[in-house]
Structure 1
Amino acid sequence: MSANATPSFSPTEIDLPKFKRQVWEMCTNIVLAAFFFRFAWIQGEAFFTWYRLSTFLILVKVSTDVFFYLIRKPPQQVSFSLYDWTVGLMGTYAVILFMPAGHTHDSLFGQIVQCTGLGLQIFAMASLNRSIGVVAANRGIKTGGMYRWVRHPLYLSYVVAFGGYLINQTSYWNAGVYAACILLWLLRIMAEERLLTQDDNYREYTQRVRWKLIPGLV
């Protein structure tokens, strides 16, 4: 070997930033699953006590959320802002604070609203595929499906679905949780927009789709 030769090694190379992100995503998934398991237990217990459709629908809705969160794909770009993470986590977990209001009867209107919200969610999830996330991130720009009408259709489905739940499970507590959730969803939208508008494709998309949440309103 030459005296000037540099020794060569062939250890398994690890992309440390990517590895840290994967570990963080895994930890987030575990915490998410644990919190929503508690929520599912409470709502499931209420359903088998009073057999109200509203509790079953909200259980299906949140279970669908959790499934897609657990299989979400890694982001191309993610925010490391403490504010964005706080808003993202609170906006994700706040829904587990909804509580069954007791053994009153569901209204037909409330059930229709909940079913509409669940339908919108399924459509939005299909449009989003595996690009759902907890914190503001770029997992690829989506422009098809429901994204042809609003830029954040999943949040629209949340507003409708949990609004229907509030109609059926009316209480001051649930009304306060719903108001807090809407505020957090709006803050999440603002955080996501700040990150996504760094992408030229997204800025072009915002010129074509004006509405962020509700067509003709927001």
Structure 2
Amino acid sequence: MTTSTHRSADERRAQLVDAAVAVMTDDGVRAVTTRAVTARAGLPHGTFAYCFGSKGELFRAVLDRELRQSMAVTFDDDSVPVEDPSERIAAGLLAYLDRVRAAPDEALALFELTALARRDPDLRDLARWEQDAYAQAVTGNLRQWSDRHGRSWSAPVDQVARLLVALVDGAMSAWLSDRDDSAAAATLRLAATMVGALAVQDADAKGVRS
């Protein structure tokens, strides 16, 4: 019984996250109210309080899911079995670009949510959490890849991760403004070349892993 109840709560949370993203995408972040979200999910309004303690908690769940999906796309080792760091990074970034291109309105809504969180005192912790969560996730993926392929980073890997996150954010923001696929792809390949150059063979490494 306990397991069934737990699964039911997780399913309802997932429904509400889906609904929140749909409302944001169609009508903007300001339109995300507890009633709008539960109505879009087809659930009783009281379900919201059962699943989330606040709207901020819902937004965090939205961003957390986006983070996990983004990492799965960008660092999918099975899709590009190459050892060259620049090629590997470029393949991941271009895959992420394809994901954004496939759902631009959703990507805009998520950018809007992040911008709102930076301005709203009640959500400022959410903006900081998102930035740190992306940096930590990318750091882990970069470290895992370099360890697997016998490489080290010539700069602290957490700094490399933050550089990569900043480059990708800028490229995606530019694409959402001009929808120039070629320019975005060229920018991401250049970013991959820059970041990939920081990964060196362990035999020649003079940098640090941490």
Task: State the TM bucket, normalised to the shorter chain.
Answer: 0.3 to 0.5
Higher Cα radius of gyration: 1
TM-score normalised according to structure 2 size:
0.33
Structure number having the greater helix percentage:
2
